[in-house]
Amino acid sequence: MDPVFLGELLSLLMFFAIIGVLMLGFPVAFSLAGTSVIFAGIGYLLGVFDPSNFNSLASRYVGVMLNEVLVAVPLFIFMGMMLERSGIAEKLLITMGRMFGTMRGGLGLSVIVVGALLAASTGIVGATVVTMGLLSLPAMLRAGYDPRLAGGVICASGTLGQIIPPSTVLIFMGDMLSGINAQVQMQKGNFAPTPVSVGDLFAGAFIPGLLLIALYMAWMLYKAAFSPQSCPALVVTEQEKKDLWKDILFSLVPPLMLIFAVLGSILGGIATPTESASVGAVGAIILAAFRRRLSLKSLRQTMLATANITTMIFVILLGASVFSLVFRMMGGDELVAEFLHNLPGGKMGAILFVMLLMFLLGFILDTFEIIFIILPITAPVLLMMDVNPIWLGVMVAVNLQTSFLTPPFGFSLFYLRGVAPGSVSTRMIYEGALPFVVLQIIAISILVVFPGLVTWLPALIFGR
């Protein structure tokens, strides 16, 4: 049998084997690395894989650990965990509820705004959905909201952590696309390519994030106008009205200033994402201390949570690097390139296939697993077809956000189901999420038709 064909066949079988192993519930990082090593051994016995290729893994791991850009990941996670555990996020939601709650649909609008702010502070979908579910769902049910609408708003708002900067997903994608784009441009003969940075992806995701928020809020206003019984006004006492300005001053303004300082310094080119993340982490500690919610116990809990989440992400990254190495060295990248080039529709056909693949994998795999596995395989081919790397990264983030919101397998629906009371059935959560899935599809369509919504701001700020 032709060694080239045999290697490509093994790489394809390895891909499906890994998906099957992950569906069985085995730990992701070990499934990626272990299955890849098994197939590497089979490839060695069949003469299509050289074990000396593993020698490059050590330098790859050291490079990941020394990558200054990725230092921003634990810092942003720490910032979000500190804001959550210090009660700042809870107070933020209560204050916003009092500001907008006196109008029909006002509490829903406040949930969307707070969801966006939490997304800008945590950057983690699961943490945002769970926090919003614990804090806002009981309040919305007590106010008489339709459980379907309440569940849909919370799930959709929670997934904004996928796209709104400083998303940890965008940090990893920015770092990966930077290296992939440089390699592709060198293959094209461009030895001085325009760099792609995490800041570019943050800037590119800013307008799409605002677009999604606007669509969510438009749906809430529509429900308030045509189905007022589903989202009644919140009853606010006179004392709460009198105390509102104090809540705004002490509970709303400080975290807003912190978030704007972090994002503004990145988008303004004043600081790198890593430098801004350190400011955000220190700022969160100061806010917690100001509210007298900072103690050695809370600090220890926050640090442990940050370490657990960060370790999980980086271990998956290291396991995925084994898969990428074995897949490429057995010819899998050439198989993918040939397949995508031969799809009907040319560049757009290839983009649609990759997006559909990621969307479907979003039902069974986490964000980081998908981008660590799929992006190194497909991005080089798409960038070779002259797809804008910034647009590609943002589209992947919005696409996976849609996947995590889509019944019956969307992860955010499972997160909310885990903290929702028994009176809110799984069917209600699914039905409530469907309108927001439609809104997500509308947003994706807009970004496809008007790619400048993604590329305009990075070009304006960074001159890309």
Which pLDDT tens digits describe the chain residue by residue (464 residues)? 677 788 888 988 998 898 888 777 777 778 888 999 999 999 999 888 888 888 888 888 888 788 888 888 888 888 878 887 777 777 777 777 777 767 888 888 888 888 887 776 655 666 678 777 877 888 788 888 999 999 999 989 888 878 888 778 888 888 889 888 988 888 887 777 778 888 889 899 999 999 999 999 999 999 999 988 888 887 767 776 677 777 777 777 888 888 888 888 887 778 888 888 888 889 989 988 887 778 888 889 889 988 888 888 888 888 888 888 898 888 888 888 888 888 888 888 999 999 998 888 887 777 888 888 888 889 999 999 989 999 999 999 999 889 888 887 777 888 888 878 888 888 898 999 999 999 999 999 999 999 999 999 998 887 65
Q: How many domains does the chain have?
A: 1
Per-residue model confidence (pLDDT) at position 40: 92
Per-residue model confidence (pLDDT) at position 245: 77
Per-residue model confidence (pLDDT) at position 439: 95
Per-residue model confidence (pLDDT) at position 374: 87
Domain carrying residue 341: 3-462
Rg (CA), the chain: 23
- Type of residue found at 427: R
Per-residue model confidence (pLDDT) at position 221: 93
Per-residue model confidence (pLDDT) at position 72: 84
HEC states along the chain? CCHHHHHHHHHHHHHHHHHHHHHCCCCHHHHHHHHHHHHHHHHHHCCCCCHHHHHHHHHHHHHHHHCCHHHHHHHHHHHHHHHHHCCHHHHHHHHHHHHHCCCCCHHHHHHHHHHHHHHHHHCCHHHHHHHHHHHHHHHHHHCCCCHHHHHHHHHHHHHHHHCCCCCHHHHHHHHHHHHHHHHHHHHCCCCCCCCCCHHHHHHHHHHHHHHHHHHHHHHHHHHHHHCHHHCCCCCCCHHHHHCHHHHHHHHHHHHHHHHHHHHHHHHCCCCCHHHHHHHHHHHHHHHHHHCCCCCHHHHHHHHHHHHHHHHHHHHHHHHHHHHHHHHHHCCHHHHHHHHHHCCCCHHHHHHHHHHHHHHHHCCCCCHHHHHHHHHHHHHHHHHHCCCCHHHHHHHHHHHHHHHHHCCCCCHHHHHHHHHCCCCCCHHHHHHHHHHHHHHHHHHHHHHHHCCHHHHHHHHHHHCC
Per-residue model confidence (pLDDT) at position 214: 95
The pTM of this model reads: 0.85
Per-residue model confidence (pLDDT) at position 261: 85
Please answer whether residues 251 and 110 qualify as being in contact, where contact means their C-beta atoms are separated by less than 8 angstroms. Answer: no
